[in-house]
Amino acid sequence: MQINDFIKNLEQQLSETEPGLIHPDIEFRNIEEWSSLVALMVIAMVDEEYNVALTGDDIRNSTTIQDLFDKVVSK
C-alpha cells in the first residue's frame, strides 16, 4: 500500500479541493470542505479499497493525512 495511491483515493472524495494540493503532512481538518460527511466518505472508501474498518475515533485521533494512512496500514 502506497501513500500516493491513498492520497489519490482521498482526493476523489473531495469534490471541491484541487487535485495535487493534498500531501501527507496536511492537517486534514484544515481542508476547507472537510466535514463529518467527508469523514464518512473516507471511511467507506477505506473499507472498499483496502478492506479496512477505519473508525470515527481513528479520524478524531489523527491530525495529518499521514496519520490516517498509518492507521489504515496498521489495521
Partner 1 sequence: MVSEYTKFGIKLKRIDINDYHLILDWRNSEDVRPYMQYQKIITLEEHLSWFYKIDNELNYYFIGYFNDEPFGVYNIKDVDFKENCGEGGLFLKDKSFWEGDVAIRGNFALADFCFNVLNLDYTYCHILKDNKKAINFNKQQGLVLDESFISETSIRMTLLSSDFYKKNKKLITYLSK
> Residues, the chain, total?
75
Instruction: Find the binder of partner 1 among 18, 20, 25, 36 (CB under 8 A).
Output: 36
68 lines the binding site for partner 1 (CB under 8 A): no
Q: Which stretch binds partner 1 (CB under 8 A): 4-12, 17-25, 54-62, 67-75?
A: 54-62
35 lines the binding site for partner 1 (CB under 8 A): yes
Cβ–Cβ < 8 Å for 11, 45: no
72 lines the binding site for partner 1 (CB under 8 A): no
| Site of grid cell 494512512 | 69
Question: How wide is the angle at C-alpha 5 spanned by C-alphas 3 and 6, nearest 5°?
Answer: 60
Strands (E), the chain: none
Q: Please give the residue ranges that form the binding site for partner 1 (CB under 8 A).
A: 29, 32-41, 43-44, 47, 55-57, 59-60
